[in-house]
Amino acid sequence: MSDQPTYYVTTPIYYVNDAPHIGHAYTTLACDVLARFKRLDGYYVRFLTGTDEHGQKVEKSAEAAGKDPLTFTTEVSQNFRDLADFMNFTHDDFIRTTEPRHIKACQAIWQKLVDAGDIYLGSYVGWYAVRDEAFYGEDELTKNADGVRIAPSGAEVEWVEEPSYFFKLSAWGDRLLAYYDANPDFILPESRRNEVTSFVKGGLNDLSVSRTTFKWGVPVPGDDEHIMYVWLDALTNYITAVGYPETDGGNYAKYWPADLHMVGKDILRFHAVYWPAFLMAAGLELPKRVFAHGWWTNEGQKISKSLGNVIDPIELANRYGLDQVRYFMLREVPFGNDGDFSHTAMINRMNGELANDFGNLAQRVLSMIAKNCDGKVPTPGPFEADDTALLGQAQGLLEVVRDQLDRQGFNHALESIWVVIRAANGYVDRQAPWKLKKEDPARMATVLYVLAETIRHLAIMAQPVMPEAMEKMLDQLAQSADARDFTALGEGGALVPGLDLPKPEGVFPRFVDEDAE
* Residues of this chain that bind ligand ME8 (CB under 6 A): 12-15, 23-24, 26-27, 52, 234-235, 237, 263-264, 266-267, 295-296, 303
d(CA 258, CA 281): 17
Q: Based on CB atoms, which residue is closest to ligand ME8, 29 or 119? A: 29
Distance from C-alpha of 150 to C-alpha of 456, rounded to nearest angstrom: 54
Cβ proximity to ligand ME8: between 24 and 456 the closer is: 24
CB of 227 or CB of 235, closer to ligand ME8: 235
How remote is the C-alpha of 472 from its chain's centroid?
A: 24
Which CB sits closer to ligand ME8, 124 or 238? 238
* Nearer residue to ligand ME8 within complex by CB, 234 or 316: 234
Cβ atoms of 39 and 45 closer than 8 Å: yes
Q: Which of 271, 231, 289 is closest to 109 using CA atoms?
A: 231
* Nearer residue to ligand ME8 within complex by CB, 17 or 479: 17
When the beta carbons of 40 and 48 are compared against ligand ME8, the nearer one is 48
Q: Closest distance between ligand ME8 and the C-beta of residue 441, in Å?
A: 53
What is the torsional sign of CA 496, 501, 504, 507? negative
In whole angstroms, the minimum distance from the beta carbon of 263 to ligand ME8 comes to: 5
**Is the C-alpha dihedral spanning 134, 135, 140, 141 positive or negative?**
positive
Residue placing its CB nearer to ligand ME8 in the complex, 43 or 295: 295
Q: How far is the CB of 105 from ligand ME8 (least distance, A)?
A: 13
Q: Which residue is nearest to ligand ME8 (CB)?
A: 23
d(CA 162, CA 123): 5
Amino acid, single-letter form, for residue 285? E
Query: Collapsing DSSP states into helix, strand and coil, what is residue 25?
Result: helix
Q: How far is the CB of 264 from ligand ME8 (least distance, A)?
A: 3
151/470 with CB nearer ligand ME8: 151
Cβ atoms of residues 262 and 91 within 8 Å? no
Q: Which residues pair with 223 in a beta bridge?
A: 220
Length of the chain: 517
- As a whole number of angstroms, the distance between CA 470 and CA 85 comes to 18
- On the CB side of 471, CA atoms within 13 Å amount to 6
Provide, rounded to whole angstroms, the least separation between the CB of residue 464 and ligand ME8: 19
Q: How far is the CB of 298 from ligand ME8 (least distance, A)?
A: 9
Q: Identify the CA nearest to 353 among candidates 322, 337, 331.
A: 331
CB of 343 to ligand ME8, least distance (A): 17
Q: State whether the Cα torsion 132-135-140-141 is positive or negative.
A: positive
Tell the smallest beta-carbon distance from residue 147 to ligand ME8 (Å): 27
Helix axes 69-86, 313-320, angle to 10 degrees: 20
Q: Provide the minimum distance between the beta carbon of 8 and ligand ME8 in the complex, in angstroms, as a whole number.
A: 15
Residue nearer to ligand ME8 on the CB measure, 23 or 380? 23
Question: What is the separation of C-alpha 291 from the centre of its chain, rounded to a whole number of angstroms?
Answer: 10
Rounded CA-CA distance 463/33 in Å is: 9
Identify which of residues 234 and 279 has a Cβ nearer to ligand ME8 in the complex.
234
Under 8 Å between Cβ of 127 and 141: yes
Q: How far is the CB of 74 from ligand ME8 (least distance, A)?
A: 17
Could you tell me whether strands 223-228 and 210-211 are parallel, antiparallel, or unpaired per DSSP bridges? antiparallel
Task: State the angle between helix axes of 410-431 and 385-406 in degrees (0 to 180), rounded to the nearest 10.
Answer: 170
Instruction: Tell me how far, at minimum, the Cβ of 235 lies from ligand ME8, in Å.
Output: 5
